[in-house]
Amino acid sequence: MPDEQMRQAARASARRLLSRREHSAYELTHKLRQRGYALPLVEAVVAELARGGWVSDARYAAALVHERRSRGYGPLRIRAELSQHGVDAALVESHLQCNDAEWIRLAQRHCVRRFGDPSSASLKEQQRRFRFLLNRGFTRDQIRMALQDIGARANDRSCTIG
């Protein structure tokens, strides 16, 4: 296949991938390489698509952060996933800029959704909740604050009800 036809085929393949969801430049490069396109061709096509606004690591990072937060994942997990997909560390940090209170509320919301009423949580159950949130990518401090606040609110409710 002549060079121009290969370039058009690679461009079409990249656009099909991008029409489904956002991809980082690194991820798109990897997928095109898997489809058998030569590295110099892939790099040229990805650069061309980036100049045209089809590929944007910033847009990809924003979409992934929004989607993962809505599914209850914490900053450590999201940061690791973005780094794994080749997104620049400074760009990752700029998209994870949110105060700790927001991450703590997110951890609380997903902990209560998963485990229900926190008022009768034994030590073993507290440890289970801690591990759950740790695996979701929250920091130890965020988890401690979230669980303390959940416990305090549960105690307040039991005092006013009883």
Same domain, 49 and 60: no
Same domain, 87 and 112: no
Residue 3: band (very low, low, confident or very high) from pLDDT cuts 50, 70, 90:
confident
Same domain, 117 and 74: no
Same domain, 69 and 118: no
Same domain, 93 and 103: no
CATH of the domain at 27: 1.10.10.10
Q: In sequence order, which ranges of 21-139 are alpha helices (DSSP H)?
A: 25-34, 39-51, 57-70, 75-84, 89-95, 100-115, 123-136
pLDDT at residue 143 greater than cutoff 90: yes
In terms of pLDDT, which residue wins out, 153 or 162? 153
Confidence (pTM): 0.82
Same domain, 117 and 85: no
Q: What is residue 15's predicted lDDT score, i.e. its pLDDT?
A: 96
Same domain, 8 and 47: yes
In terms of pLDDT, which residue wins out, 35 or 118? 35
Residue 47: band (very low, low, confident or very high) from pLDDT cuts 50, 70, 90:
very high
Tell me how far apart the alpha carbons of residues 116 and 133 are, in angstroms, rounded to a whole number.
Answer: 14
Same domain, 111 and 154: yes
Burial of 162 (0-12, 13-18, 19+ CB in 10 A): exposed
Tell me how far apart the alpha carbons of residues 15 and 77 are, in angstroms, rounded to a whole number.
Answer: 28
Cα dihedral sign, 135-137-142-147: negative
Quick: pLDDT tens for 81-105. Answer: 999 999 999 999 999 987 889 999 9
Q: What is residue 162's predicted lDDT score, i.e. its pLDDT?
A: 42
Same domain, 44 and 73: no
What range defines the domain where residue 138 resides? Answer: 99-162
Q: What is residue 120's predicted lDDT score, i.e. its pLDDT?
A: 67
Q: What is residue 41's predicted lDDT score, i.e. its pLDDT?
A: 96
Q: What is residue 161's predicted lDDT score, i.e. its pLDDT?
A: 44
Same domain, 103 and 139: yes
The structural domain count of the chain equals: 3
Residue 159: band (very low, low, confident or very high) from pLDDT cuts 50, 70, 90:
very low
Same domain, 131 and 161: yes
Tell me how far apart the alpha carbons of residues 32 and 56 are, in angstroms, rounded to a whole number.
Answer: 16
Burial of 81 (0-12, 13-18, 19+ CB in 10 A): middle
Same domain, 44 and 12: yes
